[in-house]
Amino acid sequence: MDVEVQEDSSESFASAGVRRENRLGLRRRCACVAGLLFLLSEAVTGTAAFAVVPRVVLHRTTATSDWRAVGKQRGTQQRTRALVAGEGRVFETRTVLKSSTSGNTAGAMDGEQENAKIIDGKATAAAIRAELKGEVEAHVQSSGGPPPGLAVVLVGDRRDSATYVRMKKKACDEIGVSSFGFDFPEDVTQDELLACVGELNSRPDVHGILVQLPLPKHIDEQSVLQAITPSKDVDGLHPANVAALCTGRTRAPGQAASWQLKDLDFHVPCTPQGCIELLDRYGVEIAGKRAVVLGRSNIVGIPVSMLLMHRDATVTMTHSKTVDIASVVREADIVVCAAGRAEMVKADWIKPGAAVIDVGINSVDDATTKKGYRLVGDVDFKAAKQVAAKITPVPGGVGPMTIAMLLRNTVNGATRAAAAAAAAGGGSAGSGSTPNLPVPPPDSSSDKVAAPTPDTASS
């Protein structure tokens, strides 16, 4: 039952006249009777077609001295309003009605939206690895060459970096990709690193080169990353790959343009690629939607914004200087959080029904855990899942996808190299580079340092 009684509360009741008082008195009685009848019907039947969830907040208006009781609407729920006039005051009561089914009214009475669908990055990454394993087997059979190979260069003894490298090697072993480890001490020179990269560029059994970051301060990271042949830059950080992403070039001249990840002929950074893959696999429409990206790093923020834009989303990128970020995020159908601040995005920032991809990973103190801390994302997950339609957890969301996309880039590199070799009329399936991407000139240093022996042992 809907009761709609509205009056202009900005006018003083004392000066409205007898006629106005009579009208208000009549309407007040009608509203009260209607409300009582509704409540009586519930008491008699014992069940209700709707669960009644009051959300009442008092605030004072500026136009008059009246107080109003304003109901807070949640989601896209139905509501009914009764405006009851009293002496010198107007009270507005909004009752939020939420559909419920017989036998399940208790769940509706709490007034909370059902939890969002969890975007399971761990399960999705496992499915992708299974797909890639089949592609690796097909590649070896069709090309007659070596399996795809990934070389990982590690400098120093950072425990977190060593852990990431072990995880990558394990993933390679799982799908049949050869892994090569090149470990250097903390005091390695830049020339030694460049020599190693130059050696890997020329190896036909290496289709992907990854230099584990961060590097020591005395090493120029950009010089090392730019020395990698673009077709083997599986991190997607070489200027040639960045240019392809930013300029919107997707295929060779004469071929149809496509921004489906599987159709791109250059390497896209792994984490942004994983974000888009999760949206695609969970049926989130991108074209025509409003997307907001929190963060503008070269690793995540900028590339994921470009990918969303090329998929016809309307993209807004926010950062530390953005004014009133919350109001910007509230407009988004798709939210990608890569700000690096624990639980920065609150539930009331999120548009009901939005898809939320949380890239952040932060540790917060927690004395109740064995380690004394727990990992959280940039989003207040527990509260946000009551509002969003789909959301990634932390951990178990974007993280597993990053390694899965690294493997995909490596396999794609091997496939492109084989196709390029076949188009050239022979040659090694592992040599050469993607024809469309410029290759940096070889290192001119005459005193090359021999690269370490590859470590192919599984971990």
Active site residues: 168, 212, 235
Strands 67-71 and 56-60: antiparallel
For the chain, the distance separating the N- and C-terminal CA atoms, rounded to the nearest angstrom, is 66
In the numeric block, the tokens 């159709």 are attached to 263
Q: Give the C-alpha separation, 381 to 373, whole Å.
A: 16
Q: Give the C-alpha separation, 457 to 459, whole Å.
A: 7
* 176: its two tokens: 């049949």
- How many Cα atoms are found within 13 Å in the side-chain-facing hemisphere of 443? 24
Q: String of b and e for 69-107 (b: at least 16 CB within 10 Å)?
A: ebbeebeebeebbbbbbeeeebbbbbbbbbebeeeebee
Q: Give the C-alpha separation, 259 to 284, whole Å.
A: 15
Helices (H), 155-300: 159-175, 190-202, 221-226, 239-247, 270-281
Q: Give the C-alpha separation, 172 to 330, whole Å.
A: 40
- 8 A C-beta contact, residue 269 and residue 299: yes
Helix (H, G, I), strand (E, B) or coil at 419: helix
Q: String of b and e for 36-65 (b: at least 16 CB within 10 Å)?
A: eebeeeeeeeeebebbbbeeeeeeeeeebe
